[in-house]
Amino acid sequence: MAKKNNSPKGILISLRKLARDRRAVSAIEFALVFPLMAALFLGGTALTQGIVIKRKVTLATRTVGDLTSQDSCVTNDEMTNVFTAATAVFQPYSPNSMTLTVTSLNVDKDGNATVEWSDKTVNGGARETGRSTGSTYPLPDGVNTPNTHVILAEGSYTYTPIVSTSFMTTVPLSETFYLRPRRVQTITRVATTCPT
C-alpha cells in the first residue's frame, strides 16, 4: 500500500496529477450541460407551438369576421357554417379551449356602439348567444364612426404549454377584429330564412 504524502510537495504533485487526469470529464460536462439543453429544447418547442397557435387563433377569428361581413343577411345555419369554417382553419389543433364570437354593433350619432346581435361558439361546439342585445361596447377611436355599423370578431384560446411550471400553467391568447359590412349598411340576423 502506497504511503500518503501530506507534505506541500506531495499535495502539489497530487493536484498536478488530478489536473492531467481526463477520465470522466465528458460525463461531468454532460451532467452539467444536459439540464440546460433539455430546458432550452422544451422551452423552445413550447414557445414555437404557442406562436403557431396564436397565429391560428388570428386566422380563425379573421375568418369569422370576414365571412360574416361579406353577407347581407345571416341565418342560424349560415352562422353555424361560419363557425365550422373557422374551426377547420384552426386545424390540426383541437378547438377545445377556443371561443369565437361575432357581433354586429350599431354606432349611434355620438359614436357609442350597442350590440344588435351576437353569436358565439365555445370549444368548437354548437352556436349559442354571444353578447347581450342592447349592451354597450367601447369601440376604439377611428372605428367608432357615427351612424355606421361594425362587425366585431373576437377569438380567444387558453394555451397549455407542453411543459407547465408553477408560475405559467396556461397562457391566454386572444384576437379582435373590427370590420365594416361590405354589401349592405347593416347585416340582418334571422333564424331561418332571409327576406328576398
- Per the structure, the complete domain to which residue 106 belongs is given by 24-189
**For residue 54, what is its C-alpha cell?**
396564436
Q: Report the domain count for the chain.
A: 1
Asked if the structure places residue 140 within a domain, the reply is: yes
Residue 59 is which amino acid? Answer: L
* Whole-prediction pTM: 0.79
Specify if 10 maps to a domain.
Answer: no
Task: Answer yes or no: is 15 within a domain.
Answer: no
Compute φ and ψ for 178, nearest 5 degrees: -115, 125
Q: Which three cell numbers stand for residue 185?
A: 349598411
Q: Give me the tens of pLDDT residue by residue for the chain, a chain 196 residues long.
A: 556 667 777 788 877 877 777 776 777 888 888 988 988 888 888 889 999 999 999 999 999 999 999 999 999 999 999 999 999 999 999 888 899 999 999 999 999 999 999 999 998 888 888 899 999 999 999 899 999 999 999 999 999 887 766 666 888 999 999 999 999 999 999 999 888 7
- Residue 90 is classified by DSSP as T
Do the domain assignments include residue 133? yes
* β pairing state of 188-189 and 73-74: parallel
In a domain? residue 109: yes
In a domain, 149, yes or no: yes
